[in-house]
Amino acid sequence: MSNRGKRYLMKKTYRGIRQNISTKKLLKDELWVDSLSEGGDPLWAMAYPARYAVGMANLGFQYICTYLKELGVAVERFFDDIEGDRSLEEGRPVGNFPIITFSVVYEPDVKKMLNMLNRWGVSPLWKDRAEKREPIIGVGGSLSVINPLIFSHIADFVVLGDGEEVIPYLVKTVRGFSETGDRNEFWEFIAEHPSIFVPPLHLDMLRRGETLERKKSFCLDLSKAKGHALWVSPHTVFPDTLLIETQRGCFRGCPYCTIPSCFGRPRFRQLKEVIDDIRKASKLGIRRLGVIAPESGDYPWIKEVLKEIRDARLEVSFASLRIDNISDLLLETLVEGGQRQITIAPETGDQYFRVCCGKNFTNEHILDTLQKAQKIGLRKVKMYFMLGLPNEEDKHILETAKLIMEVKKNTGMNVVASVGLFIPKPQTPWANMGFSHSTYKNKVSLLKSAIAGLKGSEIRVQSAREAKEEYRITWANADDTLDYFYSDVAPNRNKTVEQLKNLGF
């Protein structure tokens, strides 16, 4: 499933999460999977620019909190919906923290991050914060690997990749800053790490066309990664679920997807480590697992993992499933754990287009797999589609409508079709493809009219406004100031590609 699909799924799921829960109850209801000390030095604000329910369902965010705690840092969490805009743990105002780091995963979160800073009274620009001696701001997360230039005027530093290889150096440098308060010295020291982009030092160099030779940080040995979430909570979009990682990177090479292009070659956690996490969950009384991977079926020991889950009688969900990787064993494991729905991403109903998207399976394969799923006990299927693919014509959209109708007719399952607009992303093979925002509404109307009246089906559509904003933000470059995020100016994609190349990407 693409990042676009995951984000849409979380947005829809969150509607069922109860809001306005007190911080006291949020903390009380959290289950600590590992025992780690609280307190320490320095004070460090770790922020996620979304609600608690969404932020705590992000394994990367939890990883960073864990690593900081293991290094003796007094890290406290901030979310977009915590009462009083104070830290979750101790209720401290953000001004008490010398450093604030944001985990930014999706493009719309950039504006949420800016809104949080404005609400807190913290200047959103690094230049202004330096003059006013306000907190240092750092950024990490998926978006900083796809296009760190987005944060050129906002962040004091941007982590370019996996945190495992960067966090110890970052903590050491921040401790030095907390003692001296010398911001210029902090910038100089932190820029010595090749996987950290430091706009106060690097911005003018990029604008002059100089080469920076920054490089992405990849954790090649996943035994160094924590592997599982630190907290389990009933108040997240994946309630009472222990998130477990099995894989990073992807070999599939889907040309629209940022994962194979931006996040390194495939690497896998060892089977014993994953099994140990499953058994830990069972020992702690956790009954639900969420398996986090670009494509769960590509894990070399997936059969052994499924057998362990079944033996423990646990419920499991997967972040991503390709139809050509769904086995009978996987379907049976889902049903035995209590699942009644399955999520797939055909992307299109047209076979040729699907192959172009990197997904070489037929509509017949989709129907055969879903018929098996229905017979085993699954009652609902969510399917993710894109409109506006390169060289798309009306006939291709009608093929998508035909597939939706055939799934309903041949399986009897309730069908949810989640539709988004194809957005070309930096660093991907389709980065230079067109963005058909102007015709998107007509494409959606054609699809809807083609399946109008189909009982037991639902279409959920990404708005044209959201798609356009995502496109503009994802292509921001070092020349785009803060006003760019609130304007209608078209992005300069060629400039972004040039500056990313000079950055080292």
Please give the mean pLDDT across all residues of the chain.
93
Q: What is the pLDDT confidence band of residue 305, given thresholds at 50, 70 and 90?
A: very high
Tokens 């604000």 map to which residue?
45
pLDDT beyond 70 at 198 = yes
- pLDDT of the residue at 19: 58
**pLDDT of res. 6:** 45
End-to-end alpha carbon distance in the chain: 24
Q: What is the CATH number of domain 31-207?
A: 3.40.50
* pLDDT of the residue at 20: 75
Model pLDDT for residues 36-79, shown as the tens digit of each residue: 988 899 999 999 999 999 999 999 999 999 999 999 999 999 99
DSSP category for residue 489:
P
Rounded distance between C-alpha atoms, residue 191 and residue 201, angstroms: 8
Give the model confidence (pLDDT) of 386-429 as tens digits.
Answer: 999 999 999 999 999 999 999 999 999 999 999 999 999 999 99
Q: By three-state DSSP, how is residue 173 classified?
A: helix
Encoded tokens for 313? 């009688």
| Alpha carbon 142 to chain centroid, angstroms | 6
pLDDT digits (tens, 9 = 90+) for 79-99: 999 878 899 999 999 999 999
Q: How many Å apart are CA 100 and CA 45, to the nearest integer?
A: 5
Instruction: Give the integer Cα–Cα distance in Å for 242 and 225.
Output: 16
Which residues, in sequence order, are bridge partners of residue 407? none
Closest CA to 288 of 328, 254, 338, 353: 338
The model's pLDDT over 164-187, given as tens digits with 9 standing for 90+, comes to 999 999 999 999 998 899 999 999
Phi-psi map region of 196: left, alpha, beta (phi>0 left; psi -120 to 50 alpha): beta
Please give the helix or strand (H or E) that residue 397 lies within, else none. Answer: helix 394-411
Mean pLDDT, rounded, for 275-302? 96
Q: What is the pLDDT of residue 321?
A: 86
Query: 462 near 421, Cβ under 8 Å?
Result: yes
**pLDDT tens profile 211-232:** 999 999 999 999 999 999 999 9
Q: Which two tokens stand for residue 430?
A: 């389709």
Give the phi and the psi of residue 314 in degrees, each rounded to 5. Answer: -105, 155
Residue 295, Ramachandran bin (φ over 0: left; ψ between -120 and 50: alpha; else beta): beta
For 147, 472, 480, the CA distances from 489, given in Å and listed in that order, are 18, 8, 10
Q: What is the pLDDT of residue 320?
A: 74
For the chain, give every residue range classified as CATH 3.40.50: 31-207
**Which residues of the chain are in CATH 3.20.20.70 domains?**
237-462
For 279, residues 6+ apart whose C-beta sits below 8 A from its C-beta are 308, 312
Residues 6+ apart with CB under 8 A from 204: none
User: Please, which pLDDT band fits residue 14 given cuts at 50, 70 and 90?
Assistant: very low
Report the SS3 class of residue 222: helix
Place of tokens 């058994």: 279
Distance CA 106, CA 116 (A): 16
Contact 478/206 with Cβ under 8 angstroms? yes
Tokens of 378: 């699954």
* Angle, vertex CA 197, rays to CA 191 and CA 200, nearest 5: 75
Lowest mean pLDDT among 8-22, 99-113, 382-396, 426-440: 8-22
Mean pLDDT over 179-206 rounds to: 96
Question: Which pLDDT tens digit goes with each residue over 457-486?
Answer: 999 999 999 999 999 999 999 999 999 999
Q: Strand order of the sheet with strand 315-318?
A: 241-245, 288-292, 315-318
Between strands 136-140 and 99-103, the pairing is parallel
What is the CATH superfamily name and number for domain 237-462?
A: Aldolase class I (3.20.20.70)
The C-alpha atoms of residue 430 and residue 293 are separated, in whole angstroms, by 23
pLDDT of res. 471: 96
Q: What is the pLDDT of residue 78?
A: 97
